[in-house]
Structure 1
Amino acid sequence: MRADPTQQHLVLFARQPRYGVGKRRLAADVGNLEALRFARASLGRLRRTLGSDPRWTLWIAVSPDRPTGWATPARVVAQGAGDLGERLSRVVRALPPGPLVILGADTPTVTRRDVADAFSALGRHDAVFGPARDGGYWLIGLRRRLRQHLPFDGVRWSTEHALADTMAAMDGRTIALLRTQEDVDDGPSLRRYLSRR
């Protein structure tokens, strides 16, 4: 039976690709122009790859909250202020009911199969994670229930503990893991990505 795309939500967390904004660790290694080129290329690739699939509805969680024209024609939701945990919680609570998968715009190797596997895992588990090589995660998916406790408080973001902290906060709920991928956060990870293309 084919899934109703209005009930499955794929959210791409993305900062507006502008010169000198975002990807600061990457820019420190390769310069602002190369960081901007990567941000634009990665966002464009993910939108082309994942945006037209009828199995889910694509949302872009934007930062800053305005302007949003760069994110259309996808559906847009604002990330708002705060640390990553606060922004994730805000987006999870803002979207309509249904399974939700969130991924960052800095993992351009994500495929439709990865996203489909995540939604499939949510049919049997409360949450799904795509582990990143650096100890974080490139994807999180939640089945979502009313008054659900979200696992984002106390997470040591941007460290090798982010995945372990988030999983520990799941309070015994069932978890599935996808394949390990690499976020492009710095010069060495960008070089590895470009060498594999």
Structure 2
Amino acid sequence: MNRTLIVMLKEPRAGRVKTRLGRDIGMVDAAWWFRHQTRALLRRIDDPRWRTVLAVSPDRAAATSRSWPKHLARIPQGGGDLGDRMGRALRSAPAGPVCVIGGDIPDINAARVAEAFDALGRNDAVFGPAPDGGYWLIGLRRVRAVPPTLFAGVRWSTRHALADTAATLPNHRIAHVATLQDVDTAADLK
């Protein structure tokens, strides 16, 4: 079974990535943290059990960036809000289960990703919750088309993001895997 893991990434440039963290520690330091965090993450999740694809923003960086390992496939994220970009990535993946993660969660590893793919063997969708009401992972089994309303009306960056997204998946069996913390502020670095 073809499994695809999509990692949503921004080019690690000061003032363009981790801006909330940058307000706490400085934009250059936030970009430096993100660059090193994502490099370590990509090493931890590079696994033969799935194909890893980097969805990169801005779009031109998908083809030209030297920030990411060359052996990993890259696609442009395209325009729109986070839901538009994740929906496009989910729909463009090859047939089979697909999971999407961000690059700013230090505790993601291959075992966590495998747990999510395993959950898709028994469920239509899977979420990796975050303590703030969002999520670090969404996965779809894709035995049917990705709903066109997926992510419609989601209140991003709020405590409602996971509940809003789950509401766009009516009649789907939904599983949850481990709760992991993303890094948005200096307090999250601890």
TM-score range, shorter chain: over 0.9
Q: For residue 140 of structure 1, report the CA deviation from its aligned partner.
A: 0.5
Please show how residues 12-161 of structure 1 align to structure 2 within 5 Å: 12-51=7-46, 53-68=47-62, 69-70=65-66, 71=68, 72-150=70-148, 151-161=150-160
TM-score by length of 2: 0.93
Letter in 2 for 1:130: G
Q: Partner of 2:175 in structure 1?
A: 176
Aligned-residue Cα RMSD (Å) equals: 1.2
Over residues 109-158 of structure 1, what are the superposed CA-to-partner deviations in whole Å (9 max), with x where a residue is unaligned? 10111000000000000000000011100001101134331521110001
Unpaired segments of 5 or more residues in structure 2?
none
TM-score by length of 1: 0.90
Letter in 2 for 1:115: V
Contact 2:91 2:146 in 1 (8 A): no
**Sequence identity (%):** 46
Task: Say which SS state the counterpart of residue 61 (structure 2) adopts.
Answer: coil
Q: For residue 47 of structure 1, report the CA deviation from its aligned partner.
A: 0.8
Letter in 1 for 2:51: T
Q: 1:101 to 1:36 in 2, by over 3 A?
A: same
More off after superposition, 78-87 vs 62-71: 62-71
Query: How many angstroms apart in 2 are the aligned matches of 1:152 and 1:129?
Result: 13
Contact 2:120 2:141 in 1 (8 A): yes
Task: Say which SS state the counterpart of residue 13 (structure 2) adopts.
Answer: coil
Give the number of equivalent residue pairs.
185
Q: For residue 67 of structure 1, report the CA deviation from its aligned partner.
A: 2.5
